[in-house]
Amino acid sequence: MEIRFTKTKNPGVMPPESQLGFGKVFSDHMFIMDYDEEHGWHDHRIVPFSNISLHPASTVLHYGAEVFEGLKAYRTDSGSIRLFRPMENIKRLNSSAERLCLPLVDEEEMLEILKTFVKTEAEWVPHSFGTSLYLRPFMFGNDETLGVHTIKRATLIIIASPSGSYYKEGINPVNIMIESEDVRAVKGGTGYAKCGGNYGASTRAGARAEKKGYSQVLWLDGVERKYIEEVGAMNVMFKIDGEIVTPALTGSILPGITRKSCIEVLRDLGYKVSERLISVDELIDAMKAGKLEEAWGTGTAAVVSPIGKLMYNDEEFLINDRKIGEVTQKLYDILTSIQWGKTEDKFGWICEII
């Protein structure tokens, strides 16, 4: 594989790291490759970050043929740069692509592409603890026809955004509204895939939640609206009466890499973690009985984010007095120290780049 490189003539300036926020600033370059049936993936290139041009009939613009990933490049105190479990993201990209009938990528080649791209953008990896270069690989179908057919042409792009905290609250507890009207996914649908359509369909509920002062919604299952699934951009975990529980991967929720890592860390620490169905009634009963000890979300952008307040059918419940719980804090500390290189990586999750 050869990657052509065209260097930008207009390098940008990194904003002060304390003002980064999430996904607002972009690095100088982007990676692009194209796919067609005859050539497979071809024309690998790193080019100056710029707008892209699409045929107005491109499949992605009409039929939502798009999947994406999210992972971060972290800088350690010694200046080295690393990724966290990138192969998990690459495998999930392929699983999402398979669901949407988009072409798969060669996993080893994709890892090499990510490494090369991060090396090119190394100066955009911020230095402060808690900041990182968020990488957003995405793939879309761009056949130039309005017919609804299997995709024959696609493009994969990686853009990078130096980022701080996802929520304006940082590690402080966020407010989450349990959604009882709209649903995000059903079994047999695309819930387990990271595809743009899932997020488009989630926006209305998210907007309603924001109006009420809540950061995101907590989805219930799409059939019975009874079982807890996940939050807009995070998986969820609860500590109920001493038991750590998280919704099982039933096909309608995203198999989060942070979720998987948290379960592995918790089991390593000796906690029992149950992956099972959790009904909203069980959660409400636990809150009313004072047995919901902690609730938190897990995600690449959000890391480990305590949930301080839940609302269900206009009733509000405070969790742990809106303080960060012990398990939540422990998970945040362990994961972030592995990611930013403050602790030995005994799990073998780190992929060193420079």
Instruction: Rank residues 209 and 301 by Cβ distance to ligand COI and give the closer one.
Output: 301
Among 59, 161, 300, 328, which residue interacts with ligand PLP (rule: CB under 6 A)? 300
Helices (H), the chain: 59-63, 86-99, 107-120, 196-211, 257-268, 280-288, 326-339
Does 298 interact with ligand PLP (rule: CB under 6 A)? yes
- 33 touches, from ligand PLP, ligand COI, none (C-beta below 5 to 8 Å by class): none
Q: Rounded to the nearest whole angstrom, what is the least distance from the CB of residue 181 to ligand PLP in the complex?
A: 18
Instruction: Rank residues 46 and 233 by Cβ distance to ligand PLP and give the closer one.
Output: 233
Q: Single out the segment in contact with ligand PLP by CB under 6 A; choices: 52-60, 230-238, 266-274, 331-339.
A: 230-238
Instruction: Provide the mask over 234-253, with x wherever binding to ligand PLP is found by CB under 6 A and - wherever it is not.
Output: xx------------------
List Cβ neighbours of 104 (8 Å cut-off, separation of 6 or more).
Answer: 94, 97, 98
List Cβ neighbours of 264 (8 Å cut-off, separation of 6 or more).
Answer: 347
Instruction: Rank residues 21 and 316 by Cβ distance to ligand COI and give the closer one.
Output: 21
CA distance 46 to 3: 7
Beta-strand pair 273-276/81-84: unpaired
Q: Rounded to the nearest whole angstrom, what is the least distance from the CB of residue 15 to ligand COI in the complex?
A: 19
Q: Single out the segment in contact with ligand PLP by CB under 6 A; choices: 34-42, 297-305, 322-330, 334-342.
A: 297-305
SS3 state of residue 210: helix
CA distance 332 to 318: 21
Contact 303, 336 (CB under 8 A): yes
Q: Rounded to the nearest whole angstrom, what is the least distance from the CB of residue 30 to ligand COI in the complex?
A: 17
Instruction: Rank residues 75 and 194 by Cβ distance to ligand COI and give the closer one.
Output: 194
- 254 touches, from ligand COI, ligand PLP, none (C-beta below 5 to 8 Å by class): ligand PLP
Report how far apart, in Å, the C-alpha atoms of 104 and of each of 72, 96, 225 are: 22, 9, 33
Q: Single out the segment in contact with ligand PLP by CB under 6 A; choices: 55-63, 166-174, 295-303, 343-351.
A: 295-303
Does 70 interact with ligand COI (rule: CB under 6 A)? yes
14 DSSP 8-state letter: P
Residue 8 is encoded by which pair of tokens? Answer: 């930008």
Residue 93 is encoded by which pair of tokens? Answer: 């990209």
| Phi (first) and psi of residue 263, to 5 degrees | -60, -40
Residues 279-318 that bind ligand COI (CB under 6 A): 299-301
Residues 210-249 that bind ligand COI (CB under 6 A): 233
Instruction: Rank residues 24 and 226 by Cβ distance to ligand COI and give the closer one.
Output: 24
Size of interface with ligand COI, in residues (CB under 6 A): 5
List Cβ neighbours of 316 (8 Å cut-off, separation of 6 or more).
Answer: 309, 310
Does 254 interact with ligand PLP (rule: CB under 6 A)? yes
Residues 122-181 that bind ligand PLP (CB under 6 A): none
234 DSSP 8-state letter: B
Q: Single out the segment in contact with ligand PLP by CB under 6 A; choices: 111-119, 229-237, 280-288, 344-352.
A: 229-237
Instruction: Rank residues 20 and 218 by Cβ distance to ligand PLP and give the closer one.
Output: 218
Q: Rounded to the nearest whole angstrom, what is the least distance from the CB of residue 38 to ligand PLP in the complex?
A: 33
Instruction: Rank residues 246 and 300 by Cβ distance to ligand COI and give the closer one.
Output: 300
- 230 touches, from ligand PLP, ligand COI, none (C-beta below 5 to 8 Å by class): ligand PLP
Dmax (CA) of the chain? 62
Q: How far does CA 147 lie from the centroid of its chain?
A: 31
Q: What is the 3-state secondary structure (H, E, C) of 52-121?
A: CCCCCCEHHHHHCCEEECCEEEEECCCCCEEEECHHHHHHHHHHHHHHCCCCCCCHHHHHHHHHHHHHHC
- Give the footprint of ligand PLP on this chain (CB under 6 A): 70, 230, 233-235, 254, 256-259, 298-300
- Give the footprint of ligand COI on this chain (CB under 6 A): 70, 233, 299-301
